[in-house]
Amino acid sequence: MNDFDVIKATRPRRDWRKLVIHLLLIFSICLIGFPLYYSFVISTQSMEEAIQKPQKLLPSTHLLENYTKVWNRIHMGKLLLNSSIVALVVSLGKIIISILSAFAIVYFNFRGKQFAFWMIFVTLMLPVPVRIISTYQVVATMGWVDTYAGLTIPLIASATATFLFRQFYLTIPDELVDASKIDGSGPLRFLWSILLPNSGANIAALFVVMFIYGWNQYLWPLMVTNSEKMKVVVVGIASTIPTGTQPPEWHLVMAAAMMALFPPILLVILMQRWFVHGLIESEK
Amino acid sequence: MKKSIFSNRWLPYLLIAPQLLVVLVFFFWPAFDSLRLSLFQVSPFGDRQIFVGVQNFISLLVSSEYHRSVFHSFVFSIGVTFFGLALSLFLATLANQKIMGLPFYRTAVLWTYGVAPPVSGVIWLFIFHPSYGILTYVLSLVTSYEFNWLLKGWIAILLVIFAAAWAHLGYNVAFFLAGLQTIPKSVLDAAKVDGASGINLFRWITFPLLSPVTFFLFIMNMVFSFFETFGLIHAVTQGGPGDATTIMVYKTYLDGFVNMRIGTSAAQSVILMALVIFLTVLQFRYTERKVFY
């Protein structure tokens, strides 16, 4: 039997198998997508529609009304703006200081290099919850409570980003350094015109991962802000959940949830290629 | 290591200074301060501190309240990890087959990476809502069991497990997919020639070859559910009903910021720190992450 016969002999079985895979995937995707779909559908209904039994699982006509109402009620514009500022400053800050640290570690010999690298490494083992009280006290002493500096700077160190850039610099051929030395350009020139232009994919990848890290922060923003005008959206959402005595305005809660989810999900979808790369590479 | 380097006396220090400054001020100093505070009894306003040695740790060791939070943490974390890994391995295996529409399928799974656990919690809270939730409604059609998370602790735990696993699904699938793609086609072909297919191929070839990824994800999911789900608990169940969903991180927060028992809270932080160090060391020892020279 030659190859062609094998293919012919197994084809009907393969087609059948592929159909099952398609069906399983479609079923799983519907299951995974259901909470988001449900949330969206409820966010387009009136309160009466949202709490009736059984609920209709089709969009209704109150989308604009609900979104405007909740936008004004919890100052959604301000919440989204604060989340964007936090996510941008945290992600760009992590990337910039990691590029500089990795550059120092790879391209220079200096006393205490091992120790500095070890210190950055250890931050992996110190997530926010294990140092929360004392970090808060440090920030309070600096007068940074309820400021953007307090919200962002304590989150900016990044062992994973430093590792990623270090790993990447190690793959850059030494000839490039030698060539740039012969041209008479110094280290900063080399960083700016050789390393950075080649780091695009890594920067994009880390940006997605770190932006979402920043956007999704909850504990630290909760601790370090106390005025309404400094709140971030993920914390703000929690305040829309109706308590026992309030009207069950779940249609508005779901509208708020949709608005909080939209930016990070859109970013993941648009930058999927880079995000998967960044996630995998930074953990190596 | 690079052979070709620059020589400069002060520039490397200047380059590494911003990161080291943040690390020292916001990571090392608070960590050491937590260690110190865990040995003190602190008055609610922090103005008086009395050295009590390991007393805070001893009271935790004998506190049944603390034991329960440890137990709830493990039930929750193991639930999130096993449920999440099983589902994402299943999905990644499907999304790694050679079929049409793969990019669409992958996107349709990976988008969940953008979901913040607290927002996920809010949506699942409504799905589980005792009066209006769709899950409660569907269950009421088939059983008369009262499916009310406000009354039954195990349902509350199920609620937060679902919410956490859903929010973390994209992360897990991304790693499983990457892992599956590193399995050499020649190995799979060889096994096929020997007659392996379907379940057998997965059981004896794919799954064993994936074990480094699975182990890595096991650790990362434990870390995630121990340390990054505070917001979910705080926004959705507030540790309740009773203390059914009071996990260790949430109790640390309650004691430190609500009950103002700072010494006890610091001692709990130290225990959590030991746990995360243990998990990280385990991960670096048994996976091939080569970050050192």
Query: What average pLDDT does the structure give for chain B?
Result: 89
Q: Which of A177, A234, A284 sits opposite B116 (nearest CB)?
A: A234
| One domain, residues A57 and A174 | no
Task: Name the DSSP letter for residue B248.
Answer: H
> Using CA atoms, how far apart are residues B65 and B71, in angstroms rounded to an integer?
10
CA separation, residue B235 to residues A12, A16, B87, B149, B160 (Å)? 52, 46, 25, 15, 11
Dump pLDDT digits (tens) for B218-267. 999 999 999 999 999 999 999 989 999 999 999 999 998 888 888 999 99
Are the C-beta atoms of B99 and A17 separated by less than 8 Å? no
Dump pLDDT digits (tens) for B9-41. 899 999 999 999 999 999 999 999 999 989 998
- Check pLDDT > 80 for residue B196: no
| One domain, residues A38 and A131 | no
| One domain, residues A192 and A53 | no
- Check pLDDT > 60 for residue A2: no
| One domain, residues A72 and A57 | no
Give A 39-78 residues with CB within 8 A of chain B.
39, 42, 50-51, 53-55, 57
Q: Which of A222, A181, A226, A176 is nearest to A198 (CA)?
A: A176
Least reliable range by pLDDT among A50-54, A91-95, A226-230: A50-54
H helices present in A46-158, as ranges: 47-51, 63-73, 76-107, 113-122, 132-141, 148-152
Rounded to the nearest angstrom, the gap between the alpha carbon of residue A57 and the centroid of all alpha carbons in its chain is: 30
CA distance B195 to chain A (A): 13
A127 contact partners, CB below 8 Å, separation of at least 6:
B223, B227, B228, B276
In CATH, the architecture of B71-257 is: Orthogonal Bundle (1.10)
> Using CA atoms, how far apart are residues A22 and A116, in angstroms rounded to an integer?
51
| One domain, residues A55 and A73 | no
> Using CA atoms, how far apart are residues A123 and A100, in angstroms rounded to an integer?
17
What are the chain B neighbours of A215 within 8 Å (beta carbons)? 116
| One domain, residues A96 and A55 | no
| One domain, residues A184 and A105 | yes
Q: How many domains are contained in chain A?
A: 2
User: Which CATH number fits the domain that encloses residue A94?
Assistant: 1.10.3720.10
Cβ contact, residue pair B105, A29, below 8 Å:
yes
What confidence score (pLDDT) does residue A284 get? 55
**Domain, as residue range, for A185:** 68-282
Cβ contact, residue pair B30, A135, below 8 Å:
yes
> Using CA atoms, how far apart are residues A102 and B19, in angstroms rounded to an integer?
10
The four Cα atoms A3, A5, A6, A11 give a dihedral, to 10 degrees, of 130
pTM exceeds 0.95, yes or no:
no
- Check pLDDT > 70 for residue A243: yes
Chain B contact for A100 (CB, 8 A cutoff): yes
CA distance A106 to chain B (A): 7
Q: Which of A62, A83, A108 is the last residue of a domain?
A: A62
Which residue type does B107 have? T
Query: What average pLDDT does the structure give for chain A?
Result: 89
| One domain, residues A82 and A57 | no
What confidence score (pLDDT) does residue B28 get? 94
Name residue, tokens 């609610």: B44
Dump pLDDT digits (tens) for A144-179. 999 999 999 999 999 989 998 998 999 888 888 888
What confidence score (pLDDT) does residue B290 get? 43
Cβ contact, residue pair A107, B2, below 8 Å:
yes
Dump pLDDT digits (tens) for A50-88. 888 888 999 999 999 999 999 999 999 999 999 999 999
> Using CA atoms, how far apart are residues B50 and A261, in angstroms rounded to an integer?
46
What confidence score (pLDDT) does residue A1 get? 44
| One domain, residues A177 and A239 | yes
| One domain, residues A156 and A133 | yes
Cβ contact, residue pair A106, B2, below 8 Å:
yes
Share of chain B above pLDDT 70, in %: 96
- Model confidence band, residue B291 (pLDDT cutoffs 50, 70, 90): very low
For A15, phi and psi rounded to 5 degrees?
A: -60, -40
What confidence score (pLDDT) does residue B274 get? 93
Comparing B87 with A247, the larger pLDDT belongs to B87
Cα angle B239-A152-A115, degrees, rounded to a multiple of 5: 100
CA separation, residue A280 to residues A162, A264, B64, B176, B213 (Å)? 14, 19, 41, 10, 11
What confidence score (pLDDT) does residue A17 get? 82
- Tell me the domain boundaries of chain B: 71-257
- Check pLDDT > 50 for residue B211: yes
- Hey, which bits of chain B come out as E strands? 40-42, 49-51
> Using CA atoms, how far apart are residues A138 and A129, in angstroms rounded to an integer?
15
